[in-house]
Structure 1
Amino acid sequence: MTNRTAVDTEGAWFEPEGIEELRRRLPIPYVDIVPVRTDLDGSVVEVGLLLRADGGGQIVRAIVSGRVLIHETVREAISRHIEKDLGPMALPRIPVSPVPFTVAEYFPTPGISPFHDQRQHAISMAYIVPIDGETAPQEDALEMAWFGLDELLAEPSPLEEMTGGRDLIVRRALAYVGAT
């Protein structure tokens, strides 16, 4: 058994130049998280979407997402990114052994898959995580809004404000929970 408290994850990433070089050469592991609110029966009733500026200066809707760090479990990465984007009072219900509902492979070249990230080839495990607490946008998030299923499936939909195929992640999440 490994003593995880002795493992240093602080500074476990690279300087900007180093990560750019790695992004050109290696697929990077990520987690994509679709935050949801559920009713008493556990059925999804709302989906939370962030509003943030993308790398090109556009304001877009987004899901919680980010890299998995060295010596970090997927569960820890999910928890860290939820707190980083939604705040410390979000109170996520992360399963003890999280299993993704889908895997998205983002390519820097458009058209290889429905998922695109101009910076890198990223392989992202996607999770649906119920949120029980209060959320407040953190760091680079401008807003956190909860949308009912009818709003997400209507025309026009807030999902149209998403880029890189992330709307497909949300649509797959809704299909996975039988909400479409």
Structure 2
Amino acid sequence: MGDMTDVETTGAWLSREDLDNARERLPILYVNAVPVRVDDRGVVTHLGLLLRADNDGGIGQEVVGGRVLYHEKIRDALARHIEKDLGPMALPRIPVSPQPFTIAEFFPTPGVTAYHDSRQHAVSLAYIVAVVGDCRPQQDALDLSWVTPEEAASMAVRGEMAGSHGVLVRQALAHVGFPV
């Protein structure tokens, strides 16, 4: 079998109509990344949160994320979304074999799980990814804030994060040893 890094994924985008059609029939695979800064001992010192407008006209903090393309490796999807949201100089330290800290199941019906997405049934593999470079919000992100774990926990509890991103942040913090 050939090297999968040479697989063309640009033709894997769906039209808006095709995506809406798929969302009505299939769970869609996503990745989320909680970008972090770590000290010399590997302890998380800051989390990167994007400020974005949502489809309903609200504004909230989010983590990096997006769909996995057909024929795309998870590691490549993480790298692509980190670059898309944080810029080409973010320099993420994605492990050779990334392991999610949680698998989030989003349902269009509220209350089925802690995760809700009115557009679709989606499954997201969520990762904590250290970034060491210069990060600047890109594309539809309005701003990028680096906050301490304590500030992130407080924001998540107060509901300042869009959708279910507060749940993801609380789980990420618990995963790296911060009480929430």
Identity %: 55
CA distance in 1, matches of 2:15, 2:140: 19
TM-score, normalised by the number of residues in structure 2: 0.95
Match of 2:108 in 1: 108
Match of 1:166 in 2: 165
CA distance in 2, matches of 1:175, 1:125: 16
Q: How does 1:60-75 map to 2 (within 5 A)?
A: 60-75=60-75
State the AA in 2 paired with 1:82: I
CA distance in 2, matches of 1:55, 1:11: 25
CA distance in 2, matches of 1:171, 1:96: 25
TM-score, normalised by the number of residues in structure 1: 0.95
Say if 1:44 and 1:179, in contact at 8 Å, map to a contact too.
no
Listed one character per residue, the Cα deviations across residues 22-75 of structure 1 (whole Å, up to 9, x for unaligned) are 000000000011000000000001000000000101111000010000110000
CA distance in 1, matches of 2:12, 2:160: 33
Deviation at 1:18, TM superposition (A): 0.4
CA distance in 2, matches of 1:177, 1:95: 16
Give the secondary-structure state (helix, strand or coil) at the position aligned to 2:93. Answer: coil
Count of residues in Structure 1 that have an aligned counterpart in Structure 2: 178
State the AA in 1 paired with 2:125: M
Say if 2:90 and 2:135, in contact at 8 Å, map to a contact too.
yes
Residues 17 and 173 from structure 1, CA distance in 2 versus in 1: closer, same or farther, beyond 3 angstroms?
same
Give the secondary-structure state (helix, strand or coil) at the position aligned to 1:161. Answer: coil
Match of 2:29 in 1: 29
Give the secondary-structure state (helix, strand or coil) at the position aligned to 2:177. Answer: coil
Q: Structure 2: where are the runs of 5+ without partners? A: none
